[in-house]
């Protein structure tokens, strides 16, 4: 019995769903949303073995989600299509709306204390224009150097406690990180609010800001 065009088409769509149906591959896509990277770098970032990382990347490549190129003996991977970032964000939104356990996990990051609504990227752009916020990038140094929102100050979660005394308590503090799957900004906002500061997180992260067509600055702090 031959496969109908619709069945054939749905099988192709299912390749993408299958590629996304693994936490390890979502972690790899999150990393590639920051910048292109080698297999070895991605393995180090995600805590996977090089062999396992390579296998997951091959599946993502078969689904058309990533591309690869050679740089000498090194294989470099990158997102094929920036719309993958949008797809990842939609998955996050649907999960937060419909899966109770997602809410439980996120609420647990703030010790079940109420947290304010995240700031939209348009709102952040407006506040940055008038210098009304302190912007914190809660990502590793190499990701910050590869691209960050202009005016952001990089700080890791481990360094945040020592930074707090130097922050202006009269200014709103906005934290951001990698995007919808990154929890650094949630954790940073929780700590800052525990210390009595007016803190919120950005809706999305650096990849979404960049895909909006907004300016991105490169280089270390």
Catalytic residues: 177
Q: Cα(35)–Cα(220) distance, rounded to whole angstroms?
A: 15
Q: Which residues of 5-18 are buried (b: 16+ CB within 10 A; e: fewer)?
A: eeeeeeeeeeeeee
Name the DSSP letter for residue 118. P
Residue carrying structure tokens 């356990």: 101
CA dihedral for 155, 157, 159, 161, sign (positive or negative): positive
Q: How far apart are CA 205 and CA 31, in angstroms?
A: 12
């Amino acid at each position: 019995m031959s496969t109908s065009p619709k069945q054939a088409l749905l099988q192709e769509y299912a390749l993408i769903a299958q590629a996304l149906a693994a936490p390890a591959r979502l972690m790899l896509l999150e990393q590639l949303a920051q910048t292109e990277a080698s297999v070895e770098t991605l393995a180090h970032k995600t805590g996977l073995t090089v062999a396992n990382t390579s296998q997951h990347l091959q599946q993502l490549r078969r689904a058309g989600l990533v591309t690869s190129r050679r740089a000498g003996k090194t294989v470099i991977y990158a997102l094929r299509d920036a719309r993958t970032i949008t797809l990842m964000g939609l998955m996050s939104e649907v999960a937060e709306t419909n899966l109770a356990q997602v809410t439980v996990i996120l609420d647990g990051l703030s010790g079940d204390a109420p947290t304010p609504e995240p700031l939209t990227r348009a709102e952040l752009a407006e506040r940055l224009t008038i210098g009304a916020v302190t912007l914190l990038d809660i990502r590793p140094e190499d990701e910050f150097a590869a691209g960050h929102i202009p005016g952001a100050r990089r700080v890791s979660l481990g360094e945040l406690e020592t930074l707090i005394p130097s922050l202006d308590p009269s200014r709103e503090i906005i934290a951001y990180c990698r995007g919808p799957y990154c929890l650094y900004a949630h954790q940073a906002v929780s700590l800052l609010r525990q210390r009595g500061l007016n803190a919120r997180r950005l809706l999305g992260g650096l990849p979404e800001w960049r895909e909006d067509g907004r300016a991105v600055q490169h280089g270390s702090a």
